[in-house]
Structure 1
Amino acid sequence: MADQITLPAHLTRDQAYALVDAVMAREDLAMTASAYEDEATGEWIFEAMSETEPDLEAFRALAVEVLDGDVDFTVEPIDPEVNWVARSLEGLHAVQAGSFFVHGSHDETPAPAGSTTIRIDAAQAFGTGHHETTTGCLEAIDRALKLRRYRNLVDIGTGTGLLAIALAKRSRQRVLATDIDPVATDTAKDNARENGVGRLITAITADGLSHPAISRGAPYDLLVANILAGPLVSIAPDVARVTARGATIILSGILAHQATRVASAYAGSGMHLRRKLLRRGWATLVLERS
């Protein structure tokens, strides 16, 4: 049975997010982590979900290292009838990243003038705009679209479809969105329709870049991939294969200390680093295919 680990209260926002980042970077823990503010108390709460029996000792050791002290946490079985991903995201507030304003339907915060507004509700897929990898991508997309007009765009590892929606709303071009998880692609389609760009976004379930639909759509002049460093390194030759000369490539899901390894892998396939954005220990890389 799946379990939920909770560190209640007594955490600062920075501590809660730092622990989320550390847990998500440890693939061996097999946990999905989130942090949110208790609106009643203003205190920050960390939660992690595991579909298998969690390694509590490994988690405790990591938490002690990140929080610099002993930690107390509770472990409870997860009710299979509850959408725990949605529950953990309900309290998240609106996010401004570049000129993009991302909010949930529960948040009535007015968007700043001139913003491109995107509504993403809690769902069983990654990507609400709150994690540094997503905000980094949004800022990189914002800058790229201000500098140049793109006509053939693809989002690899789309999750909720947030980045594909951002691309479609701002470019008004068709966007191919892919994800290995069929739940994510269904979520992306729903979110695209909700944001008025359903006709511009084609979402497909695909592992890597070998799907025939990706090959048929190539070459792309803008490619975004917000996944993890290991998979990014492995697909570097395929990214070179499906992108046009002069294409912009935006990569994230990379811990800061992994950025050099990822950039080197892409340089070896003819894509060179033009800009690096650092956000709370995470890196977003903007490259150009020579």
Structure 2
Amino acid sequence: MANWKISAFGPKVVIRAALLAHEGAEDWDWDIVLTGSEVAEDRPDDWVLQAYLPRKPTRGDKAAITALFEDEVPEFQIQQLPDADWVSESQKGVDPIRAGKFFVHTPEFSPSAEPGITSFTIPASQAFGTGQHATTAGCLRMLTAMRRRGLAPRVVADIGTGTGLLAFAALDLWPRAIATASDIDAVCVGVVEDNAEQNGIPLGSGPGALTMVVADGMDDPLLQARGPYDLLIANILAGPLVELAPAFARAVPSGGSLLLAGLLETQEQAVRRAYRREGFRLAARLVNGDWSILWLRRRSGR
């Protein structure tokens, strides 16, 4: 089978906007694996988007990638790769990340030997190269900080879980929690199940296990029945975060916590306003690259 790569070079802001658009593309062909990175360490504003395909790119494939760009569409460079080489190529330059007490790596790397560190194995095509790894790392750091500050949730939800990574991290920090993960994309069910098996995360409905559902936001009977949630995690996008503020407020009791990410620092105030109206206050924030990660707590009496 022939394997192909499409490369598109452009400014950091253009490539990252395309990667962000990819995150929100509900009808994306998941045979097309996207990565994005700096061209070179001494050229931090020059980026490249690379798309790996198990076939010669069709007109539809090129149109789908073109649609990720708004105004400025870079010129595409298309090349055929040696057989079975596209997976390893897509993972080049994907170094492990250390965030809080967590070490996240692809299968080609070994787990961390550092005491007190939890390692998770996540394939590069799932966890990295999508423009969201900075928010994921930020969430891992914030979850670690929450634990250190004494947060002890008994019921946890990870909305828009993708790979399941943040739900895995929550169960590592709070091993007796009842955890639910959801995503709007049914493909994520198999992804989460495979990653859970790879990382020794039990699946099930009891304490210390993870239940996976397919849901648009909070619109699922099981997701609603398993609440209210002491901790609700949502690493998605700024627009959906604003829209979901009322639903999240209904799912989080007084004193409960939200961990919100997927929003650019420039979008932070709009998101915070939406949640302030629902009775949440800022407990902590951090900025990782261009991205804000917010810990919000619901005021008592709401």
Q: Shorter-chain TM-score: which interval?
A: 0.7 to 0.9
Q: Which residue of 2 aligns with 1:88?
A: 90
Matches within 5 A, 1:51-130: 51=61, 53-54=63-64, 56=66, 59=69, 62=72, 73-75=76-78, 88-89=90-91, 91-108=93-110, 110-123=112-125
Change (3 A) 1:87 1:184: farther
Change (3 A) 1:27 1:6: closer
Q: Which residue of 2 aligns with 1:34?
A: 35
Q: Matched residue of 1:246: which SS? A: coil
1:198 aligns with one of 193, 199, 202: 202
- The one-letter amino acid of 1:222's match is L
2:257 aligns with one of 237, 248, 253: 248
Contact 1:86 1:122 in 2 (8 A): no
Contact 2:19 2:131 in 1 (8 A): no
Contact 2:255 2:298 in 1 (8 A): yes
Matched, 1:157 2:152: no
Change (3 A) 1:19 1:113: farther
Q: Matched residue of 1:220: which SS? A: coil
Contact 1:95 1:130 in 2 (8 A): no
Instruction: Give the C-alpha shift of residue 211 in structure 1.
Output: 0.3
Spell out, residue by residue over 1:221-260, the C-alpha distance to the aligned partner (whole angstroms, 9 max, x if none). Answer: 0010011011111110000101121111000110111110
Q: Which region of structure 1 is more displaced relative to structure 2, 219-228 or 187-196? A: 187-196
Contact 2:22 2:130 in 1 (8 A): no
Instruction: Give the C-alpha shift of residue 281 in structure 1.
Output: 1.0
Change (3 A) 1:128 1:197: farther
Separation of aligned partners in 2, 1:218 and 1:57: 38
Q: Matched residue of 1:224: which SS? A: strand
With normalisation by structure 1, the TM-score equals 0.79
With normalisation by structure 2, the TM-score equals 0.76
Instruction: Give the C-alpha shift of residue 21 in structure 1.
Output: 2.2
Q: Matched residue of 2:112: which SS? A: coil
Which 5+ residue runs of structure 1 have no aligned equivalent? 64-70
Q: Which region of structure 1 is more displaced relative to structure 2, 233-242 or 86-95? A: 86-95
1:288 aligns with one of 248, 273, 297: 297
Instruction: Give the C-alpha shift of residue 97 in structure 1.
Output: 0.5
Separation of aligned partners in 2, 1:176 and 1:185: 12
Which 5+ residue runs of structure 2 have no aligned equivalent? 52-59, 204-208
Contact 1:123 1:160 in 2 (8 A): no
Change (3 A) 1:28 1:103: closer
Percentage of pairs with the same residue? 35
Separation of aligned partners in 2, 1:184 and 1:273: 31
The root-mean-square deviation of aligned C-alpha atoms, in Å, is: 3.7
Contact 2:213 2:223 in 1 (8 A): no
1:183 aligns with one of 181, 187, 191: 187
Q: Matched residue of 1:225: which SS? A: strand
Matched, 1:222 2:220: no
Spell out, residue by residue over 1:258-278, the C-alpha distance to the aligned partner (whole angstroms, 9 max, x if none). Answer: 110011001111112222211
- The one-letter amino acid of 1:99's match is K
Change (3 A) 1:272 1:90: same
Number of equivalences: 270
Change (3 A) 1:120 1:271: same
Spell out, residue by residue over 1:21-48, the C-alpha distance to the aligned partner (whole angstroms, 9 max, x if none). Answer: 222345799688522589xxxx997225
Contact 1:154 1:177 in 2 (8 A): yes
Q: Which residue of 1 aligns with 2:170?
A: 167
Matched, 1:263 2:272: yes
Change (3 A) 1:256 1:185: same
Contact 1:100 1:118 in 2 (8 A): yes
- The one-letter amino acid of 1:195's match is N
Q: Which region of structure 1 is more displaced relative to structure 2, 54-63 or 109-118? A: 54-63
Q: Which residue of 1 aligns with 2:18?
A: 23
Separation of aligned partners in 2, 1:127 and 1:54: 17
Separation of aligned partners in 1, 2:121 and 2:24: 31
